[in-house]
Every structure is written in structure tokens, then in C-alpha cells.
Amino acid sequence: MTTTAINTSRREFLGASALVLSVTVPGVSTMANPTTGAADSKQNPFGLVYGGAITNNEPGKVNIHPVTYKLGGLDIVANVYTPANYDQSRKYPAIVVAHPNGGIKEQVAGLYAQRLAEQGYITITMDAAYQGGSGGQPRSVDKPQFRIEDIHGAADFITRYAGVDAERLGLLGICGGGGYALSAAKADKRFKTIATLSMFNSGRVRRNGFADSQLNTIQGRLKQVSQARAQEMAGGEILYAGDANLTDAQIAKLPFEMYRQGYEYYWKTHAHPNSTFKYTMSSLLDLMRWDATDQIDLIDQPLLMIAGSKADSLYMTEDAFPKAVGTKDKQLFKIEGATHIETYWVPKYVDAALGKLTPFFARTLV
């Protein structure tokens, strides 16, 4: 397949399989969004875009600490949140928070990390390698093995952070980060407990299409991504999936609510220049042969899975939960009325999620 042919068929390939398509953000209001409370990243000294974000570190309150550490030779950027009246001489439980596909630490992952720090945890959320503010070339590589290693690397760092009790380490994965959290935790027993929010099984969706809508095109798409890798390795143009710009009218016609609301969240209300949503097409060679539920029975730690009752991604959580047969301590909680993206920011749904996360972590990180 020629470069021209690959480029021509790129949009055809995307179909319903891209989670949130990449967009060129034309400019976001510098004022806080009156509905979500979110603001332009430029208006926050830490680049945070979620509602209620920290704007400055004050004594006696939850504080944020931007950090950088090495992982596989790359610089990983992260934010560590410390609880109110943090004292390095004490020992605190800690939680790693893994961000969604296309997301970064300044968005929903930061919101939950901050809210959990309010409950007395030291939390860390990091930009995935090759994404956001972290290092790695080419940009926007999105391979499961890298995203899983990101979680291991965050555990490496935070368990050595001043005041952290390494024996009380938890993990929260959101959206795609939830699928990768399941995979990381099945082998990494430093994590004493695992929770997912709106879990997204990236491998299943990239392979089968959202809601298994592209089963009849798997082989053709595999051939296409094989050609994309060959072109990339030969020094040709690096091709990307998810790099389409859509108008409001086109967004309204997207077949799944998750995609429609995802555009609203990532492109408008919670936009950030580091959040690009695209990924190298060659990444799909790895994604399409991977599944978040593979060997999930190896998880023997307490497991909490949370998803919105109206989320069109709910089927992924409901598929994974019964396969986690290795743990006797597991819960599936549906947030009544919530869609996938609404669990990221709508206050009543965030509060509902935290209403489950708080007692779960309190009970399992002792």
C-alpha cells in the first residue's frame, strides 16, 4: 500500500474505533466555564483545567508538587498531591492515578488525585510516556506495554516519596487508564487494592470497534497498520489514528454518546494543549492484540469497579468484572444516571464515585 493510499484510507480506518478524535483547539475561553467550573490551562499556575483545582499551595491545605523522574531513559512528568498538614515524618497511604486515553494529568486524573488527597492520601498522577509533557519520540505512541510500565514507574517513584507508607499503596485507573490498571495490578503486588472508573478496554475497542461494531473489518485494519509500521520504520511519514478535525455538526452525528461528550470535554470545557487524543497508527499492532481482561484472574487484591449506569462503555466494565475470579473482595458500583464522560466532572457523579472510593480505600489500605 502506498503512502497516498494509506493517507486516503486513514479516515476509513477510524470508523467508530477512535475514542476521542484529535482536534486542533482553536482557542478556549480564558474565563471559567459557567457550567463545569473548568478554565483555560493558562489561567492556572499548574496548568490544571478541572473545577476546584488548586491555584496556589497554602500551608495546612492540600498541596500540589510537580515532579519529574526517569523511566526507561525518558523523563516522566507528574503531579504529587499531599494532604492537609502534610508531615514528612508521618506515614501516609498513597494512590497512583492513571489517566484516560488522550488525557493528561491536569484533567480528570488530577481532579480525583486532588479529591483523594483531601481524604488523607498522598497521590500521584503522571503523563504517559510519549504523551503530554513526558518524554519520548515519536510523539503520541500509545502501546499497552508502555502505559502499563507508566503505572509500575509511578509506583517506583511514589513508594520512595517522603512520608509514603509503601505497604499501603493503591491504584485508581480512569477510562483507558482503568484497563491498564487491571493489567498492571495482576502482576504488581505492591498495589494492595485496585479501583477503576469508567474502565475502557483499549485493546478490545481498537480491535473490535466500539460496542464491537467493526468485527468484520479486523483483518483489513491489521493489514493497514502493518503497512503504517513498515512506512514508519523505513523513515517515511508517521501516520496517526484519531487525527480528524470535526465540526459541531459532525460531532452531533457521532454514533456513541461517549464520543460526542468526549469532544465536548476534551475540545471545549477541559481542553489542554498537551492533550492531543491521537496515537501512532503503528501502536495498533500492539493494541489490537492486547486485551485488558487477559489473565485478569491473577488479580487477588480487593477490586472496585465504578461506571455510569447510562454509559455506553458500561459493557466493558460488566465484561471484566466477572472474569476477576481471583479476588473474593470485589464490588461493581453503577453511578445512577451517569454517562462515561460525566463521571469525569459532573459534581454529583464525582461525589458519588468518591462516596465509594473513599470507604473502599480506607478499608483496604490499612
Q: What does the pLDDT look like over 58-98, one tens digit per residue?
A: 999 999 999 999 999 999 999 999 999 999 999 999 999 99
Buried b (16+ CB within 10 A) or exposed e, 100-126: bbbbbbbbbbbbbbbbbbbbbbbbbbb
CB-facing half-sphere around the CA of 230: CA atoms within 13 A? 10
Q: Dump strand ranges (E) for the chain.
A: 63-71, 74-82, 92-98, 122-126, 164-174, 191-197, 240-241, 279-280, 303-308, 330-335
Contact, 105 vs 344, CB < 8 A?
no
pLDDT digit string, tens, across residues 122-150 = 999 999 999 999 999 999 999 999 999 99
Rounded Cα distance, 265 and 274, in Å: 14
Rounded Cα distance, 160 and 162, in Å: 6
Average pLDDT, the chain: 91
What pLDDT shows up at residue 36? Answer: 73
Band of residue 113 on the pLDDT scale cut at 50, 70, 90: very high
Question: Which of 19-23, 80-84, 233-237, 296-300 comes out lowest in average pLDDT?
Answer: 19-23
Mean pLDDT for 325-337 is 98
Band of residue 38 on the pLDDT scale cut at 50, 70, 90: confident
Band of residue 18 on the pLDDT scale cut at 50, 70, 90: very low
Residue 301 scores a pLDDT above 50: yes
User: Is the preceding peptide bond at 138 cis, omega within 30 degrees of 0?
Assistant: yes
pLDDT digit string, tens, across residues 193-207 = 999 999 999 999 999
The predicted model scores a pTM of: 0.92
- Quote the cell numbers at residue 87: 508531615
CA distances from 322 to 136, 279, 293, 332, 342 (A): 36, 30, 10, 10, 25
Domains of the chain, residue spans: 3-364
Query: What share of the chain has pLDDT > 70, as a percent?
Result: 90
Query: What share of the chain has pLDDT > 90, as a percent?
Result: 82
Query: Residue 194 carries which DSSP code?
Result: E
pLDDT digit string, tens, across residues 151-180 = 999 999 999 999 999 999 999 999 999 999
Mean pLDDT for 349-353 is 98
Mean pLDDT for 339-361 is 98
Residue 52 scores a pLDDT above 70: yes
Specify the fold of 3-364: Rossmann fold (3.40.50)
Residue 300 scores a pLDDT above 80: yes
Mean pLDDT for 337-360 is 98
